[in-house]
């Protein structure tokens, strides 16, 4: 992997991490289009640069995230993903990450599901007064279970947590913000676990490209987060569902030849 490839992957990560379109799937597709084989290093690189995007959340929400009550709820929401992720780590790394046909199917079907959900759900449960502090521990746990579905490439951690929260009657802007914050312990743990298990896949020369991808994902994620929050105040997620379907078709044409 060269510097330009690392930069491009960092930009892709920064744009897609917090949108309901699956950053994991887009990184897999982008790596394939760039001619990068899904080696242990590339898989670990794609996981590690997510930490750059997560750092953008810390930079924007540092006053909020260190509230003890909120941190406790984030830990509760994180537990299901931690348990399932640890139990299925080898399966995910070996059979799911890098599985482009699976990611294409899940991305497309997820787009259909997102559109159908919006048509059924609409904005009936909006509660403008609600804040992340008002999310209960029970709701946090259910959101965490929903997030665990994102171990399958193409599902989207963001989409799973947002839809799970909306089904619980949580305000859109509130569940989007909670989803951002929940990404911090989730992706920090995922990156830490992967580095612990695969640090030998990195050579000293690889840290330069890793740094480029990390910084790019951080800067781009700052912009993406602010844009997404502004977007959801005026729109539903239907357009993201349509994008998922279109992206699945386009990437299938480009990658499955």
* Predicted local confidence at residue 150, as pLDDT: 85
* Predicted local confidence at residue 200, as pLDDT: 66
**DSSP H stretches of helix in 49-200:** 50-65, 68-87, 89-91, 100-121, 137-147, 157-167, 172-198
Say which residue, 138 or 64, is predicted with more confidence: 138
**CA neighbours closer than 13 Å in the CB half-sphere of residue 184:** 20
Given a cut of 90, whether residue 209 has pLDDT beyond it is no
- Angstrom distance (rounded) from CA 160 to CA 155: 7
Residue-wise pLDDT tens digits, 71-108: 999 999 999 988 887 787 677 777 777 788 999 999 99
Given a cut of 80, whether residue 224 has pLDDT beyond it is yes
Residue 102: count of CB within 10 angstroms of its CB: 17
How far apart, in Å, do the first and last CA atoms of the chain sit? Answer: 23
* Predicted local confidence at residue 99, as pLDDT: 85
Let me know how many helices (H) and strands (E) the chain has, helices first: 12, 0
CA 114 to chain centre: 16
Q: How many domains does the chain have?
A: 1
| Nearest C-alpha neighbor of 59 from the set 218, 229, 246 | 218
* Predicted local confidence at residue 217, as pLDDT: 94
Say which residue, 42 or 246, is predicted with more confidence: 246
* Predicted local confidence at residue 199, as pLDDT: 61
Identify the residue whose tokens are 């990611």: 103
Length of the chain: 257
What's the pLDDT band for 134 if we cut at 50, 70, 90? confident
* Predicted local confidence at residue 90, as pLDDT: 75
What's the pLDDT band for 203 if we cut at 50, 70, 90? low
Residue-wise pLDDT tens digits, 144-199: 999 988 888 889 889 999 999 999 989 888 999 999 999 888 878 877 776 676 66
Tokens of 107: 């991305």
* Predicted local confidence at residue 51, as pLDDT: 84
Give φ, ψ of 97 to 5 degrees: -65, 125
- Angstrom distance (rounded) from CA 228 to CA 225: 5
- Angstrom distance (rounded) from CA 109 to CA 217: 27
* Predicted local confidence at residue 249, as pLDDT: 96
- Angstrom distance (rounded) from CA 216 to CA 50: 10
Q: Provide DSSP, 109-134.
A: HHHHHHHHHHHHHTTTT--TT--GGG
What is the span of the domain harbouring residue 219?
3-255
Contact status, residue 143 vs residue 188, Cβ threshold 8 Å: no
Residue-wise pLDDT tens digits, 7-65: 999 999 999 999 999 988 999 899 899 988 777 777 778 777 888 888 999 999 888 88
What's the pLDDT band for 68 if we cut at 50, 70, 90? confident
The structure's pTM equals: 0.84
């Amino acid at each position: 992997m060269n510097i330009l490839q690392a930069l491009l992957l960092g930009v892709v990560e920064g744009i897609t991490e917090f949108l309901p379109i699956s950053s994991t799937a887009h990184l897999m597709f982008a790596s394939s289009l760039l001619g990068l084989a899904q080696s242990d290093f590339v898989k670990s690189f794609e996981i590690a640069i997510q930490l750059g995007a997560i750092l953008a959340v810390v930079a924007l929400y540092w006053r909020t995230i260190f509230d003890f009550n909120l941190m406790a709820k984030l830990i509760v929401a994180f537990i299901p993903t931690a348990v399932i992720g640890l139990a299925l780590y080898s399966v995910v790394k070996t059979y799911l990450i890098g599985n482009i046909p699976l990611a294409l199917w899940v991305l497309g079907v997820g787009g259909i599901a997102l559109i159908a959900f919006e048509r059924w759900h609409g904005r009936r449960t909006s509660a403008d007064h609600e804040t992340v502090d008002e999310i209960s521990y029970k709701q946090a746990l259910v959101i965490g279970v929903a997030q665990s579905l994102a171990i399958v490439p193409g599902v989207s951690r963001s989409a799973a947590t947002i839809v799970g929260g909306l089904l619980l009657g949580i305000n859109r802007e509130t569940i989007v913000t909670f989803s951002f914050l929940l990404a911090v312990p989730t992706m920090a743990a995922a990156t830490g676990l992967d580095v612990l298990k695969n640090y030998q896949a990195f050579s000293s020369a690889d840290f330069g490209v890793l740094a480029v991808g990390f910084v790019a994902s951080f800067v781009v994620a700052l912009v993406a987060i602010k844009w997404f929050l502004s977007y959801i105040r005026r729109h539903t997620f239907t357009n993201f569902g349509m994008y998922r379907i279109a992206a699945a078709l386009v990437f299938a044409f480009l990658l499955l030849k």
